[in-house]
């Protein structure tokens, strides 16, 4: 599954220690998997509006280009996602956007996947002990030793509501960055509609470059008008 189009591909895993309550935790992870999948596919007719702000900055963090795009996304089982552009605005220009750092930073998008601890990839991860964060429960996750050499594996923190067993937050960084990238971070927050979770916000930030070209790319997306027909 591709998330944010060409940037990442999602799914995770884990061997659960005794501290984690297996059945509720499994239920939450299954809901997390479906929520992440909604960025590209769905098992029932689903629509939403996604508003994204993408910034490209130079090595000194001066913003060179900002693009704001608003799209209506329609997802149907076993069909490609349909995206309708509602508005688009670009200010500024990254003059080397098709070469140098900007190109190198995004070069791995079609082949370098980000792997989270859900679905078929869950066995590649281990989880730490549960801890309370206000009304939420949180755990840290990291690749299992046997999987540590695989590309795209991440480490981070997962938080959920123990009453509803719905995911609330996922923060992650790759264990090993793709070529020409020095830093990547991902952050998701989740909300629910009718007991079904969806990614209310998706944040991605990356830095990298090639030779003397350095770039920072930051993307923030928000999902509204979420509707799903059972």
- Is the pLDDT score of 22 beyond 90? no
Q: Which two tokens stand for residue 189?
A: 């927050």
Gyration radius of the chain's alpha carbons? 18
What's residue 13's pLDDT?
29
pLDDT of residue 128: 96
**Which pair of tokens denotes residue 192?**
């629910």
Task: Report the candidate in 162, 107, 104 with the shortest Cα–Cα distance to residue 131.
Answer: 162
Handedness of CA 137, 142, 144, 145 (dihedral sign): negative
List, for residues 79-132, the tens digit of each pLDDT value: 999 999 999 999 998 765 443 444 444 433 345 688 999 999 999 999 999 999
Q: How is residue 178 annotated by DSSP? A: P
- Please determine, for residue 74, whether its predicted confidence score (pLDDT) is greater than 80: yes
Look up the pTM and report it: 0.81
Q: 68 or 100, which is more confident?
A: 68
Q: What are the pLDDT digits (tens) for 171-221?
A: 999 998 887 788 899 999 999 988 889 999 999 999 987 655 688 899 999
Q: Which of 13-27, 30-44, 67-81, 167-181 has the lowest mean pLDDT?
A: 13-27
CA distance 229 to 89: 32
Residues in the chain: 230
Mean pLDDT confidence for 161-166:
94
Q: Mean pLDDT over all residues of the chain?
A: 83
Share of the chain above pLDDT 70, in %: 80
Domain boundaries, the chain: 2-228
Per-residue confidence at 72, pLDDT binned at 50, 70, 90?
Answer: very high
Q: What pLDDT does 94 receive?
A: 73
Q: Per-residue pLDDT for 55 more than 60?
A: yes
Residue 222 has pLDDT above 90, yes or no: yes
């Amino acid at each position: 599954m591709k998330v944010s189009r060409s940037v990442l591909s999602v799914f995770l895993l884990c061997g659960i220690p005794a501290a984690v309550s297996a059945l509720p935790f499994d239920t939450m992870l299954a809901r997390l998997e479906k929520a992440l999948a909604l960025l590209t596919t769905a098992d029932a007719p689903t629509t939403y509006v996604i508003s994204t702000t993408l910034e490209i900055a130079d090595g000194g963090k001066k913003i060179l280009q900002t693009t704001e795009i608003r799209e209506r996304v329609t997802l149907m089982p076993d069909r490609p996602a349909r995206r309708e552009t509602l508005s688009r605005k670009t200010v500024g220009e990254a003059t080397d956007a098709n070469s140098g750092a900007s190109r190198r930073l995004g070069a791995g998008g079609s082949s370098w996947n980000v792997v989270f601890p859900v679905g078929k990839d869950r066995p590649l991860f281990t989880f730490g002990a549960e801890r309370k964060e206000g009304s939420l429960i949180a755990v840290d996750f990291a690749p299992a030793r046997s999987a540590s050499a695989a590309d795209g594996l991440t480490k981070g923190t997962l938080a959920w509501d123990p009453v509803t067993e719905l995911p609330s937050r996922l923060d992650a960084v790759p264990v090993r960055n793709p070529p020409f990238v020095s830093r990547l971070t991902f952050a998701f927050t989740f909300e629910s509609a009718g007991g079904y979770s969806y990614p209310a916000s998706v944040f991605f930030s990356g830095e990298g470059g090639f030779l003397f070209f350095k770039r920072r790319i930051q993307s923030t997306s928000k999902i509204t008008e979420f509707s799903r027909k059972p």
